[in-house]
Amino acid sequence: MITIGEDINRNIVETCDVCVVGSGGGGGTIAAELAEGGLDVVILEEGGYYTSKDFSLDPGRVVPLLCRDSGASAILGKPNIIFQEGRCVGGSTVVNGGMCWRTPEKVLQRWRWDMGLTDLTPEKLEPFFEKVEERINVAPQSPESLGKGDMLFRQAADKLGWLIHPNRRNQKDCTGEGICVFGCPTDKKQSVLITYIPRALNKGARLYTDVKAIKVKIKNRSAQAVEARVLDRRSGKKKPYKLTVQARVVVLAGGAFQTPVMLMNSGIKNNNVGRHFHCHPNVKIVGIFDDPIYYWKGVHQGHQIHHFIDEGILLAIGVVHPGLATMSFPQYGRNSLELMELWNHMLIAGSLVDDTTTGVVKRALWGEPLAYYYIDHVERERLIRATALLSELMFTAGAKRVFLPFARLTEIKGPDEIKKIYDSNIQPDEMEVLTVHAFGTSRMGANPKRSVTNPWGESWDVEKLFIADSGVVPSSLGVNPQETIMALATRTGQYILENKSKYLG
Ligand SMILES: Cc1cc2nc3c(=O)[nH]c(=O)nc-3n(C[C@H](O)[C@H](O)[C@H](O)COP(=O)(O)OP(=O)(O)OC[C@H]3O[C@@H](n4cnc5c(N)ncnc54)[C@H](O)[C@@H]3O)c2cc1C
């Protein structure tokens, strides 16, 4: 059953076995796992319930509908980084690119050593990855769905001898509409909205949308209930009603920014809450070709280059809507118009880099998360090298000009100019950086002094309070994270089910 905020016109008190806050990558997954395991589940989602009928190609309409802060949340630092996250049923999985990779072994090894997560071996995680991949239909893309841009990218990588992989994506018969980030218009992308959420509802879970959980009520060091405020999405105003969910177990899965604030609101004093924030800083470049490419025809991202992954650099192409791409071009007025006339001749490629520095998420005076993160010399060098590598790839593919994400060096016109990227001593605050992957703010670990949850995702400070979102992931991964988040959420769900007598008895 789905109840939307607009229809709530009184205070409500619900009772259930498990209250899950957030319906995205982590929340949707664990809600289905628990409901299918026979538990009575209530899901609270701050965003609205939208389906493919509501999705559109108009970013001005669809992005504010599906994303927090209209897709432009800010992480403060040098440079300020734009962060995008979903705020709707299905969370960020509704607007994500659909790439699916398991946690790399070297990352798991780091977690075993650094965080004492000795159980997180590829062998022990195998059944969780398999289950997730089956549930969200992770599969290679059919060749017919790849566009010309993707093929150029692949040919250039082959010419350079770089290791390139076809992407594994959560999709069924995807025909390559290329607009995953506005919500899949054909329901071919198997987001949480159309996989785990229907599974949970089918087993009796009750989903409340347009309700923002504020805090967990705690008694005798044990979670008792969740208090939420009701929103009227049409007017955008808070309604004067409260939803209280009395639950035997509470799972917070609001994402790496929102969950720490809920923990702070609940009076949890653990020093690790909101700290150890990691992300994958991204840069993008734009190549201009003589011939038209129509790079927006074809799947969002058919391939990834993993040749430099040991250096913490992943390269890929991606479809960016013209309206969004123009915002980042340095040209104005007539120059901007002339550039956009070349739209069909462009190819956009980007890189995500592994980070080593950390930031922090605090609670602002107005009650919302405020994140700080300063790019350090390691990320700076990686972003510069990634931009140079992407430029080499573009020129090898036949580009005549390449636009760069640097305020002081905006364009290069040939491979001989790539060395300018290294020589220009670009500083972090001259870079245009964004991210869509956040981690670590409720990290799991074996040492209560260094983590927020134990290795099963249960709070060290409050019993029967679990966390199952990207915040528990202790570090950046170097690859796209949704499979890691879903596998860990599945594992936490199974742990609760296997210990029913302790948690629900
Ligand atoms: C544009 C974009 C592209 C991406 N591409 C990929 C990709 O190709 N592959 C990949 O692996 N990953 C990708 N990601 C990242 C991936 O989608 C996320 O890492 C993952 O969905 C995070 O899961 P989560 O559960 O932590 O948070 P989310 O999926 O963001 O879900 C959190 C949910 O909780 C809700 N919520 C928050 N606070 C509250 C509250 N107080 N009360 C009630 N509800 C609340 C939010 O509204 C949201 O719906 C992408 C992300 C974006 C934004």
Distance 233 CA to ligand 1 centre (A): 19
Nearest CA to ligand 1 atom 9: 99
Measured distance CA(487)–CA(4) in Å, rounded:
29
Asked if the model's pLDDT at residue 429 lies above 90, the reply is yes
Please report where in the chains the tokens 């596998």 appear, as a residue: 487
CB of 44 sitting under 6 A from ligand 1 = yes
CB of 481 sitting under 6 A from ligand 1 = yes
The last residue of a domain, from among 413, 432, 451: 432
- Give alpha helix (H) positions in 343-481: 377-397, 419-423
Q: 329 pLDDT band (50/70/90 cuts)?
A: confident
What pLDDT, in 10s, does the model give residues 448-486?
A: 999 999 999 999 999 999 999 999 999 999 999 999 999
Are 154 and 21 members of one domain? no
The Cα diameter of the chain in Å comes to 70
Are 304 and 428 members of one domain? yes
The full DSSP string for 221-267 is TEEEEEEEEEEETTTTEEEEEEEEEEEEEEEE-S-TTHHHHHHHHTT
The last residue of a domain, from among 389, 407, 432: 432
Are 381 and 463 members of one domain? no
Task: Record the tokens describing residue 256, joined without a space.
Answer: 């790496």
Are 289 and 337 members of one domain? yes
Pocket test for ligand 1, best of 93, 208, 210, 231 (most atoms within 8 A of CB): 93
Nearest to 321 by CA among 1, 14, 106, 84: 84
Are 62 and 190 members of one domain? yes
What pLDDT, in 10s, does the model give residues 353-398?
A: 999 999 999 999 999 999 999 999 999 999 999 999 999 999 999 9
What pLDDT, in 10s, does the model give residues 66-109?
A: 999 999 999 999 999 999 999 999 999 999 999 999 999 999 99
Q: So what's the pLDDT on residue 56?
A: 87
Asked if the model's pLDDT at residue 323 lies above 90, the reply is no
Nearest CA to ligand 1 atom 23: 25
Q: So what's the pLDDT on residue 311?
A: 96
Distance 228 CA to ligand 1 centre (A): 20
Nearest to 485 by CA among 4, 198, 45, 93: 93
| CATH number assigned to the domain comprising residue 333 | 3.30.410
- Which helix (H) or strand (E) segment is 109 a member of? helix 105-115
Which pTM value belongs to this model? 0.97
Beta bridge partners of 206: 42
Q: Spell out the residues 6+ positions from residue 455 whose beta carbon is closer than 8 angstroms to its own.
A: 116, 117, 118, 119, 120, 444, 445, 446
Q: Are 30 and 20 in contact (CB under 8 A)?
A: yes
Are 206 and 296 members of one domain? no
Q: Are 25 and 97 in contact (CB under 8 A)?
A: no
Tell me if 180 is assigned to some domain: no
Give the range of the structural domain holding residue 86, as residue numbers without chain letter.
Answer: 2-93+103-112+185-277+438-504
Measured distance CA(347)–CA(141) in Å, rounded:
20
Measured distance CA(447)–CA(433) in Å, rounded:
33
Are 146 and 36 members of one domain? no
Nearest CA to ligand 1 atom 53: 85
Are 331 and 404 members of one domain? yes
Alpha-carbon dihedral 261, 262, 267, 269, rounded to 10 degrees: -50
Number of structural domains (the chain) is 2
Task: Record the tokens describing residue 324, joined without a space.
Answer: 């969004």
Are 194 and 325 members of one domain? no
Nearest CA to ligand 1 atom 13: 96
CB of 259 sitting under 6 A from ligand 1 = no
The last residue of a domain, from among 410, 432, 454: 432
Q: Are 43 and 206 in contact (CB under 8 A)?
A: yes
| CATH number assigned to the domain comprising residue 195 | 3.50.50.60
Tell me if 467 is assigned to some domain: yes
